Structure 1
Amino acid sequence: MIPHDATTISTDSERELLRHYGLTGIQPLGVGTEAHVYALETDRVLKIYADRGQLEVFDTLRDFHDRLDTSAVPWTVPRIHDIARHGDLIAVVEDRVAGTTMDSHATGADDEPLEQLYLQTVQQMSKLMVNPPLGRRLLLPAPGSTGTRGNDWNEFITNTVSEKLRIVAPLLRRDIDDIDTRADCLLGRFSDRYDGPDAVVHGDLYPGNILMTDRATVTGIIDFGTFTMIGDPLYDLATACGFWRMYEPDHATVRNRLLDHASADLPAEQRRRLMDYLLIAALTTCDLYPEQARPIHDTGHYQWALGILTDNQYWYPTT
């Protein structure tokens, strides 16, 4: 996995790397949890990562991007052109997709046209093909993980959540007394064999990973990586409902509104599965994205996850 730790990129090393690429005195296009991104020429970007001895991870990402077939979707994905180690940093050069992030186009708390376009774009992910097939469930499996394609999707999800619960259950018990019972019930709903489609699941398809040139035109999907899988496309749809305005005060109202829209034409079993995937996303990410000098229980992301995990309508839906 690519570590979520761009904060360890040293200023001096970054300046030296930028000079190597002829980039001096410029501001980054973006500073994320994993990388600093700079414009390189007119059609490419330079991404700078802290080197954690995982150069092969970026080779895996390049291979994956080369396999992606976007012929059935109205947007594109960036291709990786070069990967190089520079001291304690890794430089990745990839296509620059036109546009700015979808969240920068939002007009406020109730932006129905953009919300609908967001859900539509996420649903189009099911048409994104990998040729030839990836050969495993998880794009970037950690050593010893269960991320092989040979596993049934439901089995893969069960194993992934079970492994994560060993870490986060003690953390969650402070706020949810019966989290162990609830988790067992949730995993029990994945005991059958999976018989749905195998699609590319981005896994982190929040509005910041969707690029647009205007409020009606999506140009690309970016930042496949740590959370990317091959499996049920409903996972991206469910998490997208949770990602829109996820840290805003009205996030619960917004989340439920998007879930209503996303499930309107789905059979009851798939509506139930949307709720399951939302719970799984909250369980498996609740301890991520630490904030300096704040206990994990007080971080914005933990509170987002807790809001989902304490909402009984997701555990026990009426329909």
Structure 2
Amino acid sequence: MVDFRQGHTAAWAQYFARRGFPVAEPIAAGVEGAVYRLEAGTVAKVWSGRPPADFALTREVYADIAHHRPPFATPEILKTEEVDGVLVSYERELPGTPLAPDSGVRDPGRAIPPGQADALLAVLRGLAAVPGTDAMRRLTVQGDDRPLWQDRARFPDALADLVERAVGRHRDLLAAHVPDLAVTVERTVRALRALPDTPVTVVHGDLVPPNVHVDATGLPVAVLDFGFFTTAGDPAFEAAVTAAVWDMYGPYAEEHVATLTGRFAAELRHPPQTLALYQTAYALATYDLFSTDGTDGHFRWCAALVDRSA
């Protein structure tokens, strides 16, 4: 098994202590790296899977987002350094507390708290007001080998290309879990290319509950961890993915996806069939990003989602 998630290590805590931060508190870890709180107002992120040369583009995207003043805080890079080929960024700590735990850590229960759905809608509306920029189009999503928009002028076409590349990475693995995979992929790609043009806005691409911070009243005050699938794209794609990833592993996950997809379609006026299409495309594009042997929960979730769409 190849696992792309980065964990916390004593070596990094010791490194930050030598840098003048004696208490480096581990606070989060995921596919992009591990985050440590160094002191009040400052965190450090130890990146994985991202060459330091690409990070100037990430900083440009962060600045583009902040320029349009969304109604919540977004990441701000204070400085960066390279340590033995590993990128470390020092960032402003963002306010609030996570909207909810990850569903892989705690079962969210059957009922979706109304305040959580409201918070997600507020974030979706806020991000949809941030125009897509050239810098966002030049980003490469996790696991791919080229900028998502390379040689393409439309998001649906760029996403269709990504689906074809991603399925090709471990086609046999996915086909073992998804009957008639070739038919599903062909149908998905054809449907993506048939989508009409839409406004292009920033897409976070990973609005799982821990990446949305709220205040004591439940109001969103910060959105964290741009980068996993950040790009410029159709705001309907953001809504579709957000509905799908709110609960990926709980016993009522399928019911929750349907409920949130229906609400987002109604309140944001996205066609339900487009949201369903984008959810299938997301699963086909990300199924192998946490491991390459199909043993992780994300792979099983993606395979089940694609199988249901078939």
TM-score w.r.t. the length of structure 1 is 0.84
**Residue identity in the other structure for 1:15:** A
Alignment of 1:1-319 (within 5 A): 4-7=4-7, 11-12=10-11, 14-50=12-48, 54-69=51-66, 71=68, 73-104=70-101, 108-110=109-111, 111-129=113-131, 133-135=133-135, 137-140=137-140, 143-144=145-146, 147-148=149-150, 150-192=152-194, 194-265=196-267, 270-290=271-291, 296-311=293-308, 314-315=309-310
Instruction: Please identify, of 97-106 and 272-281, the stretch whose mean Cα deviation from structure 2 is larger.
Output: 97-106
2:57 touches 2:135 (CA, 8 Å); kept in 1?
Answer: no
Alpha-carbon distance, 1:266 to partner: 6.1
Tell me how far apart the structure 1 counterparts of residues 247 and 148 of structure 2 sit (CA, whole Å).
Answer: 32
2:243 touches 2:260 (CA, 8 Å); kept in 1?
Answer: yes
> Per the alignment, do residues 210 and 273 of structure 1 end up closer, same or farther by CA in structure 2, a change over 3 Å counting?
same
Alpha-carbon distance, 1:77 to partner: 0.7
**Residue identity in the other structure for 1:170:** D
Instruction: Please identify, of 76-85 and 188-197, the stretch whose mean Cα deviation from structure 2 is larger.
Output: 188-197
2:23 touches 2:38 (CA, 8 Å); kept in 1?
Answer: no
Tell me how far apart the structure 2 counterparts of residues 135 and 87 of structure 1 sit (CA, whole Å).
Answer: 27
Matched residue SS, 1:211: strand
Tell me how far apart the structure 2 counterparts of residues 263 and 53 of structure 1 sit (CA, whole Å).
Answer: 34
> Per the alignment, do residues 79 and 207 of structure 1 end up closer, same or farther by CA in structure 2, a change over 3 Å counting?
same
**Residue identity in the other structure for 1:148:** Q
Instruction: Please identify, of 257-266 and 182-191, the stretch whose mean Cα deviation from structure 2 is larger.
Output: 257-266
Alpha-carbon distance, 1:174 to partner: 1.4
Deviation track 1:81-121 (CA, whole Å, cap 9, x = no partner) reads: 10101235332111111111111499743122212322332
Tell me how far apart the structure 2 counterparts of residues 98 and 135 of structure 1 sit (CA, whole Å).
Answer: 26
Deviation track 1:43-64 (CA, whole Å, cap 9, x = no partner) reads: 22111235x6811122221121
Alpha-carbon distance, 1:31 to partner: 2.6
Tell me how far apart the structure 2 counterparts of residues 170 and 34 of structure 1 sit (CA, whole Å).
Answer: 26
2:73 touches 2:223 (CA, 8 Å); kept in 1?
Answer: yes
Q: Aligned pairs, how many?
A: 301
> Per the alignment, do residues 276 and 170 of structure 1 end up closer, same or farther by CA in structure 2, a change over 3 Å counting?
same
**Residue identity in the other structure for 2:10:** T
2:148 touches 2:159 (CA, 8 Å); kept in 1?
Answer: no
Instruction: Please identify, of 281-290 and 87-96, the stretch whose mean Cα deviation from structure 2 is larger.
Output: 87-96
Matched residue SS, 1:29: strand
Deviation track 1:163-217 (CA, whole Å, cap 9, x = no partner) reads: 1121233222212221111211111112347421010011111111111122422
TM-score w.r.t. the length of structure 2 is 0.86
Matched residue SS, 1:103: coil
Of structures 1 and 2, the one scoring higher in RCO (CA 8 A, sep 6+) is: 2
Spell out structure 1 runs of 4+ moving beyond 6 A. none
Alpha-carbon distance, 1:71 to partner: 4.4
2:46 touches 2:88 (CA, 8 Å); kept in 1?
Answer: yes
Instruction: Please identify, of 213-222 and 188-197, the stretch whose mean Cα deviation from structure 2 is larger.
Output: 188-197
Instruction: Please identify, of 182-191 and 236-245, the stretch whose mean Cα deviation from structure 2 is larger.
Output: 182-191
> Per the alignment, do residues 49 and 145 of structure 1 end up closer, same or farther by CA in structure 2, a change over 3 Å counting?
closer
User: Equivalent pairs: percent with the same residue?
Assistant: 21
1:125 touches 1:199 (CA, 8 Å); kept in 2?
Answer: yes
Tell me how far apart the structure 2 counterparts of residues 92 and 266 of structure 1 sit (CA, whole Å).
Answer: 35
> Per the alignment, do residues 266 and 68 of structure 1 end up closer, same or farther by CA in structure 2, a change over 3 Å counting?
closer
2:203 touches 2:234 (CA, 8 Å); kept in 1?
Answer: yes
Instruction: Please identify, of 195-204 and 151-160, the stretch whose mean Cα deviation from structure 2 is larger.
Output: 151-160
Q: Give structure 2 stretches of 5+ with no counterpart.
A: none
Instruction: Please identify, of 243-252 and 88-97, the stretch whose mean Cα deviation from structure 2 is larger.
Output: 88-97
**Residue identity in the other structure for 1:139:** L
**Residue identity in the other structure for 1:140:** T
Larger Rg: 1
Instruction: Please identify, of 174-183 and 275-284, the stretch whose mean Cα deviation from structure 2 is larger.
Output: 174-183
